[in-house]
């Protein structure tokens, strides 16, 4: 039989339709306890119905619709996939500390490190992350490979990094002038016009958001975390340009003035916020600026400085010992002042996969456990601009679902022992099944 060109198209279309029909999958999850990321009150004995990669319904009682595969989590606490709003997926600082890593590891090395870190992060129950500072081409490639299903990892939103010459993002600092990598120049902005151009270039390169460095930092040589190192004009130019391109702006800000001015000028989140006070929190609350305290990074870097004296440059070590303890206290003060807390850890400055330590530290600082969970679900999803897709277990959202064997509201460390992970309807971890 001769098949015409039109016939081939019809046959191909039919085959694709049959294939997609065959792939359609209905799953019913029996959740013994559900923390849905919406309510502060858990629900007992519910059924989550999933079609392909999305949640269809969440209903009381245990039911199993005809033809649906059953996943029995009736003895577990079920939650939305967690979101970490501040990671460095290509970085393993504790394995490669100090200046040496900058001149011995290429972006290709970093990308391969990121592939491992991405899977580790996903298996820890974090199904979405926001990367705030990596080689932009490498991290965009990682994001695309995960989205295409070529490698395992969380959904990624990636930020392009910008800061002033001599500031926290200046990779030249600490080296002889003869040591130079042209890629380091891409992180630097000096003046509003230059800043505008750099934002546009990062947008073109595939960045989802911009991270700026208006204050000095801890993990850099010589700069002062208390100092505002970017001008108001530079900050405003970046914020205005980024927002026009529908890109949020995150501000690395330890110092009080940098926190206040960045918030007033319209950044979407303050990262760290170490030396904030009541006046700064008032500005943040009025402007709707989110706070990501990154308490785990502060604690672990401080501990690293104590246990590995001399591993970091002297100025970095001194700053780490001071900043770590302050970050925990200020996280609780920001919460009490009514600032919206979003969950961010700075993973990469400490080992990936240990992100959930942040819950324990936030709780120890005085934030109720349920609010630490909401910070890593609905609040983080809103900060990402993705609350219609992630951050909660309700109809229409991606079937990003995790489970713990014990109740995290009674023992928050349970979130460090996630036993079940589903991303987009696909099981990526199940402790009851050999992996």
DSSP for 16-36, written as a single string: HHHHHHHH--EEEEEEEEE--
Q: Name the percent of the chain in helix, strand, coil, to the closest 5.
A: 40, 20, 40
* pLDDT for residue 301: 79
- pLDDT 10s digits, 187-208: 899 999 999 999 999 999 999 9
Where is pLDDT greater, at 192 or 9?
Answer: 192
* pLDDT for residue 337: 97
* CATH architecture entry for 5-81+392-430: Roll (2.30)
Where is pLDDT greater, at 48 or 316?
Answer: 48
For the chain, the domains span 5-81+392-430, 82-384
Q: Which residues are 75's β-sheet partners?
A: none
* pLDDT for residue 174: 66
End-to-end CA distance of the chain: 48
- pLDDT 10s digits, 338-378: 999 999 999 998 999 999 999 999 999 999 999 999 999 99
* pLDDT for residue 307: 81
* pLDDT for residue 24: 73
Is domain 82-384 in CATH 3.30.70.260, yes or no? no
For 386, list phi and psi in degrees, rounded to 5: -130, 25
Percentage of the chain beyond pLDDT 70 is: 89
43: enclosing H helix or E strand: strand 43-51
* pLDDT for residue 19: 38
Give the relative orientation of helices 192-205 and 136-147 as an angle to the nearest 10 degrees.
30
Indicate if the pLDDT at residue 132 is higher than 60: yes
Distance CA 222, CA 313 (A): 9
Q: Which two tokens stand for residue 245?
A: 């391109």
Mean pLDDT of 39-60: 98
Q: Which two tokens stand for residue 219?
A: 């993990």
Total-model pTM: 0.90
Mean pLDDT of 296-300: 87
For 87, list phi and psi in degrees, rounded to 5: -130, 165
Indicate if the pLDDT at residue 22 is higher than 60: no
* pLDDT for residue 107: 87
Indicate if the pLDDT at residue 149 is higher than 50: yes
Distance CA 242, CA 362 (A): 31
Indicate if the pLDDT at residue 4 is higher than 50: no
């Amino acid at each position: 039989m001769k098949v015409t060109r039109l016939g081939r198209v019809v046959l191909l279309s039919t085959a694709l339709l049959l294939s997609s029909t065959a792939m359609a999958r209905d799953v019913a999850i029996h959740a013994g306890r559900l923390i849905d990321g919406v309510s502060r009150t858990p629900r007992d004995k519910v059924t989550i119905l999933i079609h392909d990669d999305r949640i269809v319904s969440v209903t009381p009682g245990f039911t199993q619709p005809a033809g649906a595969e059953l996943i029995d989590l009736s003895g577990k606490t079920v939650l939305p996939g967690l979101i970490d709003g501040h990671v460095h997926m290509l970085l393993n600082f504790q394995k490669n500390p100090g200046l040496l890593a900058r001149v011995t590891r290429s972006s290709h090395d970093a990308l391969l490190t990121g592939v491992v870190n991405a899977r580790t992060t996903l298996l820890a129950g974090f199904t979405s992350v926001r990367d705030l500072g990596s080689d932009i081409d490498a991290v965009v490639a990682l994001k695309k490979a995960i989205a295409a299903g070529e490698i395992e990892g969380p959904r990624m939103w990636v930020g392009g990094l910008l800061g002033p010459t001599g500031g926290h993002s200046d990779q030249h600092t600490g080296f002889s002038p003869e040591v130079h990598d042209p890629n380091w120049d891409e992180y630097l902005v000096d003046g509003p016009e230059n800043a505008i151009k750099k934002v546009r270039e990062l947008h073109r390169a595939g960045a989802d958001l911009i991270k700026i460095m208006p204050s000095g930092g801890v993990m850099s040589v010589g700069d002062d975390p208390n100092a505002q190192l970017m001008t108001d004009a530079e900050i405003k130019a970046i914020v205005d340009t980024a927002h026009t391109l529908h890109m949020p702006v995150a501000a690395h800000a330890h110092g009080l003035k940098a926190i206040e001015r960045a918030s007033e000028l319209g950044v979407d989140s303050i990262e760290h916020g170490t030396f904030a006070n009541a006046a700064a929190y008032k500005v943040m609350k009025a402007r709707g600026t989110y706070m990501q305290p990154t308490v785990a990074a502060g604690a672990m870097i401080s501990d690293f400085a104590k246990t590995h004296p001399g591993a970091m440059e002297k100025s970095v070590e001194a700053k780490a010992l001071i900043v770590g303890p302050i970050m925990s206290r200020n996280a609780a003060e920001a919460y009490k002042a009514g600032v919206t807390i979003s969950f961010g850890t700075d993973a990469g400055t400490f080992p990936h996969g240990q992100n959930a330590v942040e819950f324990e530290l936030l709780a120890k600082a005085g934030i109720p456990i349920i609010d630490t969970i909401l910070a890593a679900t609905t609040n983080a999803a809103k900060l990402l601009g993705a609350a219609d897709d992630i951050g909660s277990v309700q109809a229409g959202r991606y079937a990003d679902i995790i489970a713990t064997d014990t109740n995290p509201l009674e023992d928050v460390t349970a979130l460090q022992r996630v036993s079940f992970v589903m991303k987009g309807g696909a099981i990526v971890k199940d402790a009851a099944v050999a992996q």
